[in-house]
Amino acid sequence: MTQVLFILLLAASVAFFARTTWIFGRAVFAGTPEARPRLDDLPGRLMDVGIYFFGQKKVAEEGYGHRTSKHHLFIFWGFLVITIATVDIIVAGVIPGVSLRLLPDLLYQPLYLAIDVMNLMVLLMIVWAVIRRVIVQPRLIPWTLDAGLILGAIGSLMISHFLTHGYALAGVGESHWWMPVSSAVAKLLGDIGPSAAHRGEVMAYWAHVLIVLTFLNYLPYSKHIHLLGALPNIFARNRSERRLDMPKLNLEDETQWGVGKFEQFSWKSLLDTYACTECARCSNYCPAYNTGKNLSPMQLVHDIRYDMLDHTVARDRIKELEAQIVDMTAYSLSHGFDDAHPHPDLTQAKADLDAAKATEANMPRLTGGRIAEDTLWACTTCGACQEVCPVFIEHPLKILQMRQNLVLEQEKTPGELQRTFRNIERQSNPWGIANDQRMDWANGLEVPTIEENPDPEYILWVGCAGAFDARIIKQTRAMIKVLDTAGVDYAVLGHQEACTGDPARRAGNEMLFQALAEQNVETLKSVNAKKVVTSCPHCLHTLRHDYPQFGGNFEVVHHTQLIDHLFTEGKLKSEKSPVDTITYHDSCYLGRWNREFDAPRNILAAVGAPGGIKEMTRTKQHGMCCGAGGGRMFMEEHGERVNVNRTDEVIATGVSAVAVACPFCNIMLTDGMKTRDMENKVQVLDVAELVAQSIPDVPLSRLVRKKSAET
């Protein structure tokens, strides 16, 4: 009888869980297909699961201002071990006599020692978690009903485990070294007699089983849904070097104009929403969130999930009512009811259907509704959120796709960006300066154009900031000195160069971006470009990762990578450092998005600084954004400014200069220094400027440079 009851209870629980999984899974696969393969490199993906899910590698990592809560790790790892015992109980309940006890003692005893000890470890961590929430940090870690239920369920599982085995051991008067905690519980229970021990064991056993099955079905509806979503999300993560994986839109299909409703996300983006662990690292590292903007990456992911599930449940209800109406209509007709005298149940069902349709119709719009416009425009696309996410959620991609919908379909573009788009359309640059002035930056220099030096080794992609912004023109001219000194064979496109389209694509104007991409790819192909070097990480990222979508497959390097190579090859040698002490600010698009952290630091080491090279607190993969990415360079910022926040960190190092490797970072930190009245105390120098000032002034003509390259 007990076995039958167990099987019925298990079947009902599994059936309910399967139904929930089906509903949740169906919601995910309502999303669009993925162009990127998610089942390639199976060995690598399985290794990812081992490292990042079972090993919790990214959870264990610590960054600036963040220390991992080790008790979470112990609870997770302990729970994995305990799951072995849970499976053992379920199997034994269905097939009595089949359990881990059938294993040889050499395997069984160490295994159960691990299970018993881990049970105690998890129980202690649960007690500590409760103490932290209630006594130690009640404000930082607020108590919630969901947290209470989860912690209570896990703690109850541990207690029921010890009671089950404790009563069993007490009933026979035994203790085992491989069950030290359960044996201690048996001793505490004392000599209670076989009958009482059996009753206690049965009660604890059924309590354990009921908690397990209830916990299983509560999980999908709790914040701990990530225990189900994290593993498949890690398995399906983007493993390519193209980390900001923007898909190319088919602009002829208006249903592809960005994401306005959840179904327009890819299924992988929707799966992301189930994987969120609610650790809040994404928000804690977000420059917009940390400067008081209306953007929490974690909340954004949750809002997408809530929207998806709300619509899925509402549509299921509509389908259910429609099916009922069909059946009831047939029944009504066969029993003499008609439109004049309808069956009352049919009338109610139609009213319920109208109400259900109205409920879904009145749900807030996802893009620009449930997720506000200012939330989407606050993002700098720095990638800090994605970098620290332990389950590889891609937050920036979702934001950019929703921006596309705001711009292309809803025509809701901030005024500053409308002006920027017009400037790019009319003059091929965001500044709106006449395109016939694109080569004015080179006045007084012998800079070879592609017409004068066809088929060079490198095309120097100057970029719009490098050609039109007064501050950045200085770093462009410095780069020319570096290239000339090293004898590099290069040429510029001159008036053939246009904006790469990065500001347009990151700000949602895919139509403008695609026009620029097609134009620039055609230009680069026409001059037989092989290698492209650029000082702008935004140009680097677009040329390297976006242009292949349009047939533009070029070798693209950043100027710090080329300069580092020239130092290594002995073609450059610094004579004297132009600064005393210096720090380096990591550009988001060079560092996080393109994984280049070493080249700029190698150059700083080659140039040297008598007073030393100092690192800021937020550096490398955890570097703080300057605030200019994602089109924010051309938008007004209200409240605390991101660039000033970063500037304060530079000033706190006490250095005399900060090196940058991005025009936008240069502009933003320069403005930050002016805001803090520090522009005469802390220099903001591009790496190329630093090198140019450290090498002797030996002007080389184009002829000498070309001859040197040929030699």
> Residues 384-411: pLDDT tens digits?
999 999 999 999 999 999 999 999 999 9
Residues in the chain: 711
CA triple 360-362-365, angle to 5 deg: 90
Q: How far apart (Å, rounded) are the C-alpha atoms in residues 138 and 140?
A: 6
Percentage of residues of the chain with pLDDT beyond 90: 72
Kindly tell me the sign of the dihedral angle through the C-alpha atoms of 658, 659, 663, 665: negative
Q: How far apart (Å, rounded) are the C-alpha atoms in residues 685 and 600?
A: 12
Cα–Cα distances in Å, from 310 out to 202, 228, 275, 356, 405? 41, 19, 18, 12, 21
Other CB atoms within 10 A of residue 10 CB: 16
Question: CB-based contacts of 632: which residues, under 8 Å, 6+ apart?
Answer: 379, 380, 642
Average pLDDT over residues 416-431: 96
Confidence of residue 59 (pLDDT cuts 50, 70, 90): confident
Q: What is the pLDDT of residues 158-196, one digit of tens each?
A: 999 999 999 999 988 888 998 999 999 999 988 888 899
> For residue 620, what is the DSSP state?
G
Q: Answer yes or no: is pLDDT of 145 > 90.
A: no
Q: Answer yes or no: is pLDDT of 342 > 80.
A: no
- Per-residue HEC secondary structure of 426-468 comes to HHCCCCCCCHHHCCHHHCCCCCCECCCCCCCCEEEECCHHHHH
- pLDDT of 240 reads 86
Q: Which residues face 709 on adjacent strands?
A: none
Confidence of residue 66 (pLDDT cuts 50, 70, 90): low
- pLDDT of 62 reads 65
Output 699-702 pairs: Cβ under 8 A, ≥24 positions apart.
699/484, 700/484, 700/485, 700/487, 701/446, 702/446, 702/448, 702/452, 702/453
Count the alpha carbons within 13 Å of 673 in the hemisphere toward its beta carbon.
Answer: 19
Q: Answer yes or no: is pLDDT of 527 > 90.
A: yes
- pLDDT of 451 reads 95
Q: Answer yes or no: is pLDDT of 642 > 50.
A: yes
Q: Answer yes or no: is pLDDT of 704 > 50.
A: no
Average pLDDT over residues 612-640: 95
Residue type at position 588: C
Cα–Cα distances in Å, from 620 out to 287, 397, 542, 585? 15, 21, 21, 8
3-state DSSP assignment of residue 341: coil
Q: How far apart (Å, rounded) are the C-alpha atoms in residues 342 and 338?
A: 5
Q: What is the pLDDT of residues 459-478, one digit of tens each?
A: 999 999 999 999 999 999 99
Q: Answer yes or no: is pLDDT of 503 > 90.
A: yes
- pLDDT of 597 reads 97
Give me the residue spans of the domains in the chain. Answer: 2-60+67-235, 254-260+285-409, 416-710
CB 544 within 8 A of CB 243: no
- pLDDT of 703 reads 41
Between strands 490-492 and 531-534, the pairing is unpaired
Average pLDDT over residues 220-232: 90
Average pLDDT over residues 682-701: 87
Q: Which of 53-62, 352-361, 644-653 has the highest mean pLDDT?
A: 644-653
Q: How far apart (Å, rounded) are the C-alpha atoms in residues 399 and 627?
A: 16
Cα–Cα distances in Å, from 438 out to 5, 20, 434, 452? 81, 60, 8, 17
If 0-12 CB within 10 Å is exposed, 13-18 middle and 19+ buried, where does residue 33 land? exposed
Q: How far apart (Å, rounded) are the C-alpha atoms in residues 448 and 572?
A: 21
Question: CB-based contacts of 546: which residues, under 8 Å, 6+ apart?
Answer: 246, 501, 505, 513, 517
Q: What is the pLDDT of residues 177-186, one digit of tens each?
A: 989 999 999 9
Between strands 581-584 and 458-461, the pairing is unpaired
Give the phi and the psi of residue 346 in degrees, each rounded to 5: -70, -40
Domain 2-60+67-235 belongs in CATH node 1.20.950: yes
Average pLDDT over residues 107-119: 91
- pLDDT of 67 reads 55
Confidence of residue 61 (pLDDT cuts 50, 70, 90): confident
Q: Which of 314-318, 324-328, 536-540, 606-610 has the highest mean pLDDT?
A: 536-540
Q: How far apart (Å, rounded) are the C-alpha atoms in residues 303 and 300?
A: 5
- pLDDT of 141 reads 55
Other CB atoms within 10 A of residue 188 CB: 10
Average pLDDT over residues 523-543: 97
Q: What is the pLDDT of residues 240-299, one digit of tens each?
A: 888 888 999 999 988 889 999 999 999 999 999 999 988 899 999 999 999 999 999 999
Q: Answer yes or no: is pLDDT of 698 > 80.
A: no
3-state DSSP assignment of residue 365: coil
Residue type at position 24: F
Mean pLDDT (the chain, rounded): 91
Q: Answer yes or no: is pLDDT of 637 > 60.
A: yes
If 0-12 CB within 10 Å is exposed, 13-18 middle and 19+ buried, where does residue 395 land? buried
Q: Answer yes or no: is pLDDT of 707 > 50.
A: no
- pLDDT of 91 reads 87
